[in-house]
Structure formats: C-alpha cells, structure tokens
Structure 1
Amino acid sequence: MRQLSLLPLLLMLASLTLLLPACGKREDPTAGLNTPAAPAPTSTASAPTAPPIPGATGSVAAATSAPTDPSSWTTSTREDPANLARCAGLVFDKPALWPWMAPSMRFRTLQYSVPGSGGSPSAELIFSVFIGSDGGGIQMNLNRWIQQFRPTDGVPARVEQSTKTINDMAISYVELEGSYAGMGAAAPKPNWAQLGAIIQAPGRTVYVRLLGPDKTVLENVSSFESLVDSVREGVSG
C-alpha cells in the first residue's frame, strides 16, 4: 500500500524536473528588434570638398603661404637684372635706368639711384624691411615722415595720403614736398620731396621711399607708383 501511494508523487516530481530547464531556455520574443546594428566600416577615402569660392583669396591665405622665413629671401645686388628689385621675399618691376647702389645708411636694406633730367641732382630709391611688429606702427611712421618736411618760405609742406591693396597686401601711400629735415641733418633742405609706400606683407613690413630734390622726385611719380603696384610674392626671393 505504501508503494502505490508514493508513485503519483514521484511522477509529479519528475515532470517538474523536466519542465524547469525548458523554461530557462525560452527566447525573448523581442530580442533583436531594438538592438543597434553594427557600425558600418569607416572609409579611408577623403570626403569630397566643395569647389573654391571665387575671390576667396584673402589675407589669411596669403599669410599662410608666404615665404616669411628671412633665410629664404633674396636681396638684389649689382649683378641682378636691372629691371627687377628683390627684397624681403617680394619682387618689384623697376626702371632699368635706376642703377643699384650700396645702402648708404643703417636700416636701408636695398638702395638705387634715380637720375634727374636736365642737370637735376639724383634722388634715392630706398627699401627698408622690418620683421613682425619691429619698426613701430604704420601711422607712427607716416607721421614721422610728415614731420620731417617743414614749411618753405612760410608755405606749409604739401602732404597727400592714400591707401590701396595690391595682391592682398595693404599699402599706405604718402607724397610730401617742402623743406626736408632728415635725421642728423644740420638744416632743412629746401625744395625736396618724398614719395613713400608702406607695404604690409605677411610677417613683415616693407618701406619704400623715393627721396631727393623735388624736380627729380616729382617727375618720377608715375614710375614710382608703377613700381609699388607691381609688388608680388617672389618664388625664391
């Protein structure tokens, strides 16, 4: 009698043992529906770039591509082509009849003689170069140039100023006429003139002056302006 009463209980326990593992292996019906897909392989090819905008060649581009390392600059010598002036990584077209001459004073990087006509004395074409912020501000130097020209016989010195941009370089231009009192001069020199251009090139400032007797300077205004307007970066100097 005891054996018969225990048999149903043993069968029930066996059934429960078989059902429990099966319940543990049941799959989640939502599995895979919200699982993020594996990221796609990243391509190593460069993304296409938009075409350059016409006219977008500002001073930033010029500053990054300009040869601002002074060791790469070439300064013209007597043996160089007579129609070019090279200075501070820039190139200028100049009259071939303006001969090279050795710089006669400190802070003159390059110098040429500008002959006068009809017996008028020669003038000087002078290039001076300053790196970075050396040499002071633009307006400070313009004021210094202006103050060097004094009245002649009570007539105030003539001063004309203008600005322009050539090849992304800002240029301040001044034309002066009067009695010139240069640094260290014993007395002002009457009837003198100066054409001056301050060129703000990337990383440096180039000062260009045509200075001398007013007749010689003023008859070469067009030539000086053409020289300044021709300024461009030089590949090797």
Structure 2
Amino acid sequence: MLDAPEELIVEVDHEAKFTFYPPENNSVITFGNYISQRPENWFWVIPKTLVVTCNYVLPSSTTSDPALITITQFENEDSESLDKSITRWKDLFRSDGGGPITATKQSLTIAEREATQITMLGEYMGAGSGWRLQNHMLLVTILRDETHTTYLKVIGPRETITTQRNAINEFLSSTSWVEPIVEDE
C-alpha cells in the first residue's frame, strides 16, 4: 500500500454507516438500507463503540429505568449463526430465581423479509459484571437481507419494554427497504 500510486488506492469510509451525530431527520431512524418511523418519545444517543450502527433510548415507565435499542449490522459472512447468538445472549441472563434462562423464538415479516424475534426474561448479569438487574428483558429482532444481517436489540426493565411494546411493534412494522444508491463513477 505504501508503494502504490495514489490513484490506485481505494478510499473506504469505514465510519459512514455509524451515527456519531444526531440524525438530520429526527422523524425517522435509518440503518443500512432500512428506514423506519422513529417513535415520538425515543431519543438518539451516541453509540459507545464502532460496532453499533445507532442507539435510541426508550423512556421508562413511571417506576422503572429506561431501555435501550441498539442496532448493529454485519455482513452475512461475519454474522454468527442464530443458535450461537442465542447461546451467547442466554449467558447474559439467568432466571430471576437464579436458574438457567429460556429463550422464546417467533417469526415475523419486516420490510417484506422474514425476520426472527428472540425474547429472554430474567436477571440480567451482563458480560461478567458484578451487578445484577432483576426482572429485565432482552428482545432481539434479526433481519437478514442479501448481504447483511441486522440485529435490533432492546434491553431494559421488563416493565419499560412492556410499556414501549406498541411503539416497538410500530417501529418494526413501519420499517421499509430503501434501494441502495449506486453512484456513477
């Protein structure tokens, strides 16, 4: 690369798909080739890592903490199998009584594509954290297109996610596919 002529070096904007600044159009959430109406009470927060495409906080109910929706996208060859993902997510939880967690799986259609939704309930332990959060929920919707796998992960208190469930469902049902723009060279 150091000896290559400048005209042969292809510039790739690796950060283009990530949102480091609030979106210009606050009424929609855009992620990859998908776009959806932003629920009115969700608000954008800056991602803490380059793996995350975008984050939105889901306001709490009156007695619980807020939840967070995190959207990540990977090229299909970089995305792990559903079973491996479920196993990894289950390791973040245990039942509120301290036992193993069970995951429920449901099929749905989003943007005219088949999607899978995984739900887990229990005590959230995080990835090796010393603290525990009881009565939490993880709701993951997995959407796969020809080239990418998109994970829409909602994590937070069960009460908050239950309160936000209609907004989550409306967000998912209003998601549509946007054809990629191919620029002429």
Whether these two folds match at TM > 0.5 is yes
Corresponding residue of 1:183: 127
Task: Quote how far apart the aligned CAs of 1:91 are.
Answer: 0.7
Corresponding residue of 1:100: 44
> Where do 5+ consecutive residues of structure 1 fail to align?
1-69
Question: Structure 1 pair 119/80, CA: closer, same or farther in 2 (3 Å)?
Answer: farther
> So what's the TM-score if we normalise by structure 1?
0.62
Task: Quote how far apart the aligned CAs of 1:159 are.
Answer: 3.2
The sequence identity of aligned pairs, in percent, is: 20
Distance 1:80 1:236 in 2: 19
Corresponding residue of 1:174: 118
1:129 is the counterpart of 2:101 = no
Structure 1 runs (4+) deviating above 6 angstroms are: none
Contact 1:174 1:196 in 2 (8 A): yes
1:201 is the counterpart of 2:145 = yes
Contact 2:96 2:122 in 1 (8 A): yes
State the AA in 2 paired with 1:83.
Answer: S
Alignment coverage as a number of residue pairs? 168
Distance 1:184 1:106 in 2: 21
1:81 to 10, 13, 25: 25
1:215 is the counterpart of 2:159 = yes
Task: Quote how far apart the aligned CAs of 1:158 are.
Answer: 5.6
Task: Quote how far apart the aligned CAs of 1:106 are.
Answer: 5.0
Higher Rg: 1
State the AA in 1 paired with 2:129.
Answer: A
2:109 to 138, 144, 165: 165
1:117 is the counterpart of 2:56 = no
> So what's the TM-score if we normalise by structure 2?
0.78
Corresponding residue of 2:136: 192
State the AA in 1 paired with 2:45.
Answer: M
State the AA in 1 paired with 2:36.
Answer: F
Structure with the bigger RCO (C-alpha within 8 Å, sep 6+) is: 2
Deviations 1:175-201 (A, max 9, x none): 221001222422332121111101012
Question: Higher mean Cα deviation, 94-103 or 144-153?
Answer: 144-153
Contact 1:150 1:188 in 2 (8 A): no
Distance 2:166 2:118 in 1: 14
State the AA in 2 paired with 1:128.
Answer: T
State the AA in 1 paired with 2:142.
Answer: I
Deviations 1:88-140 (A, max 9, x none): 11112220211110012452110011111214211111000101221311232
Deviations 1:141-188 (A, max 9, x none): 123223322011257646321012333422110122100122242233
Contact 1:113 1:125 in 2 (8 A): yes
> Where do 5+ consecutive residues of structure 2 fail to align?
1-12
Partner secondary structure for residue 228 of structure 1: helix
Larger relative helix fraction: 1
